[in-house]
């Protein structure tokens, strides 16, 4: 193949492909390197993500969006952001004083909205996901007050569920910011969690809840409620419980 065969300019291809993905595709080259413009764009995105990691969680924002629903606030055993980043063990445990304030009951499920590594994700999507998921649950289910957790990791939900007597816990947590997405929410479902015994293999996870570019609330809530229903029947979560729902797209048309 000669150069002339591949030399005709096609400026429209990459812009049209970028409709399908936020990935940094078709950036072009300067030798083997990136063009200056793209290099600086990457640095700007990294700077924004780094700044996002350190923005504080505001439980009021979520409580306000959940107005009408009972909420309760807790902190983990990590006293500040810097400690939280270096001591995940503390982020998985409740502050003892806050544990004592949690309402005990025969709850079928408790929702925990946890800041994780992006309070922005939780501020933007946490309340909407609680509402969308709750709406799909059987009316007979006893849903505990929503727990708003600060400096919290996923396994803090085990401690919460155990302290409240809840059968199942769903933790909505801010995922660590990427360069294209600083507002991605994850959902972790665990059946009958036991602090210190439950492992990640005992959970089911949905990630990248972030409409309109990631999973929408409707899709995520439907998947989650489906998993919760089957978890309740089978009394299990984790690798033994697969997400069998249909995939949204088919690949056949592409090829």
- By CB under 8 A, what part of segment 96-115 binds other proteins? none
d(CA 125, CA 173): 10
Segment lying near other proteins (by CB under 8 A), choices 6-14, 57-65, 162-170, 229-237: 6-14
Contact 62, 127 (CB under 8 A): yes
> C-beta of 243: minimal distance to other proteins in Å?
4
CA distances (Å), 90 to each of 86, 87, 116, 178, in order? 9, 6, 12, 24
> C-beta of 129: minimal distance to other proteins in Å?
16
* x/- letters, 148..187, toward other proteins (CB under 8 A): ---------------------------xxxxxxx--x---
**125 binds other proteins per the rule CB under 8 A:** no
Quick one: tokens of 12? 């429209």
**16 binds other proteins per the rule CB under 8 A:** yes
d(CA 77, CA 95): 5
> C-beta of 20: minimal distance to other proteins in Å?
4
Q: Looking only at residues 55 through 84 of this chain, which bind other proteins when binding is defined by CB under 8 A?
A: none
Among 72, 74, 77, 117, interactor with other proteins by CB under 8 A: 117
Angle, nearest 10°, between helix axes 119-134 and 217-234? 60
Residue number with CB closer to other proteins (68 or 212): 212
**37 binds other proteins per the rule CB under 8 A:** no
Radius of gyration in angstroms for the set of CA atoms belonging to the chain, rounded to a whole number: 21
SS (H, E, C) 16-39: HHCCCCCCCCCCCCECCECCHHHH
d(CA 111, CA 172): 7
Residue number with CB closer to other proteins (53 or 143): 53
**215 binds other proteins per the rule CB under 8 A:** yes
**222 binds other proteins per the rule CB under 8 A:** no
The whole-angstrom distance between residue 59's C-alpha and the CA centroid of its chain comes to 16
> C-beta of 158: minimal distance to other proteins in Å?
12
**45 binds other proteins per the rule CB under 8 A:** yes
Side-chain half-sphere exposure of 70, counting CA atoms within 13 A: 8
Residue number with CB closer to other proteins (20 or 67): 20
d(CA 186, CA 118): 10
Q: Looking only at residues 231 through 250 of this chain, which bind other proteins when binding is defined by CB under 8 A?
A: 238-239, 242-250
**33 binds other proteins per the rule CB under 8 A:** yes
**212 binds other proteins per the rule CB under 8 A:** no
Quick one: tokens of 208? 């990248």
> C-beta of 110: minimal distance to other proteins in Å?
23
């Amino acid at each position: 193949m000669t150069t002339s065969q591949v030399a005709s300019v096609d400026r429209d291809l990459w812009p049209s492909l970028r409709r399908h993905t936020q990935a940094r595709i078709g950036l072009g080259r300067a030798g083997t390197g990136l063009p200056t413009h793209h290099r600086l764009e990457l640095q700007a995105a990294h700077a924004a993500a780094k700044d996002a990691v350190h923005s504080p969680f505001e439980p009021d924002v979520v409580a306000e969006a959940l107005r009408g629903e009972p909420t309760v606030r807790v902190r983990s055993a990590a006293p500040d952001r810097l400690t939280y980043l270096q001591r995940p063990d503390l982020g998985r445990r409740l502050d003892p004083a806050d544990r004592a304030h949690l309402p005990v009951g025969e709850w079928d499920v408790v929702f925990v909205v946890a800041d994780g590594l992006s309070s922005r994700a939780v501020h933007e999507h946490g309340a909407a996901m609680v509402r969308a998921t709750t709406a799909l649950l059987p009316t007979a289910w006893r849903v505990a007050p929503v727990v708003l957790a600060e400096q919290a990791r996923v396994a803090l939900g085990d401690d919460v569920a155990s302290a409240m007597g809840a059968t199942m816990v769903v933790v909505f947590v801010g995922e660590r910011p990427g360069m294209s997405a600083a507002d991605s929410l994850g959902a972790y479902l665990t059946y009958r969690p036991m602090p210190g015994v439950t492992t990640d293999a005992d959970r089911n996870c949905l990630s990248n809840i972030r409409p309109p570019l990631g999973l929408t609330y409707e899709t995520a809530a439907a998947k989650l409620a489906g998993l919760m229903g089957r978890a309740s029947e089978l009394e299990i979560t984790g690798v033994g419980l697969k997400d069998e729902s249909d995939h949204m797209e088919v690949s056949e048309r592409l090829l």
